[in-house]
């Protein structure tokens, strides 16, 4: 992985469609996350249609940003822990086991948001990440995600059943 490529640029194709972070989802947020020392950082500019109360960001978007920032950080941390680049095999694939968000202040919709994260623990197949959202340098939300390595059965369950309609 080059220093310039984002975590999400290295996701294998079969986990690159996520609404929050998949580079292959044209309708999604397509967040991009990088290391900044021991912290991870994502920058995101909300659109006017991400409004909750006029002037402020919808909480669901904030939860989504914390979610995908944190799962991306979890994946990158597992590679780091093993001394591997993110584009090497076998890939670590994570899903959200739990997502907790505290909304501390209204988040202004004008201007970019910064989401930062830090790994609290790597415990077997799960990684606990704490993340926070900053607007103009002020923390407006804090979250914690338990990301769990995806079992192979996750893919099997997602496959269409033989004969089932595809659309």
Q: Which residue is nearest to ligand DCC (CB)?
A: 97
| Token pair for 22 | 């998949």
CA-based nearest residue to 35, from 73, 64, 84 = 73
Residue selected from 73, 93, 107, 132 as contacting ligand DCC according to rule CB under 6 A: 93
- Decide if residue 95 touches ligand DCC (CB under 6 A): yes
The Cα–Cα gap between 104 and 57 comes to: 13
Q: Which is nearer to ligand DCC, 87 or 114 (CB)?
A: 87
Q: Which is nearer to ligand DCC, 118 or 125 (CB)?
A: 125
Span interacting with ligand DCC, options 42-50, 53-61, 87-95, 135-143, rule CB under 6 A: 87-95
- Decide if residue 56 touches ligand DCC (CB under 6 A): no
SS (H, E, C) 129-157: EEEEEEECCEEEEEEEEEEEECCHHHHHH
């Amino acid at each position: 992985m080059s220093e310039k490529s984002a975590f999400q640029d290295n996701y294998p194709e079969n986990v690159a469609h996520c609404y929050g972070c998949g580079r292959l989802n044209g309708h999604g947020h397509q967040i991009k996350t990088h290391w900044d020392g021991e912290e991870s950082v994502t920058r995101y500019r909300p659109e006017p249609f991400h409004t909750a109360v006029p002037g402020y960001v919808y909480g669901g978007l904030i939860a989504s940003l914390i979610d995908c920032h944190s799962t991306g950080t979890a994946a990158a941390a597992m590679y780091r822990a093993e001394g591997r680049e993110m584009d090497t095999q076998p890939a670590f694939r994570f899903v959200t086991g739990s997502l907790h968000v505290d909304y501390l202040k209204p988040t202004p919709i004008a201007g970019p948001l910064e989401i930062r994260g830090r790994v609290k623990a790597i415990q077997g197949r799960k990684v606990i990440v704490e993340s926070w959202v900053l607007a103009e340098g002020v923390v407006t939300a804090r979250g914690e995600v338990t990301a769990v390595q995806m079992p192979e059965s996750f893919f099997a369950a997602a496959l269409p059943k033989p004969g089932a309609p595809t659309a």
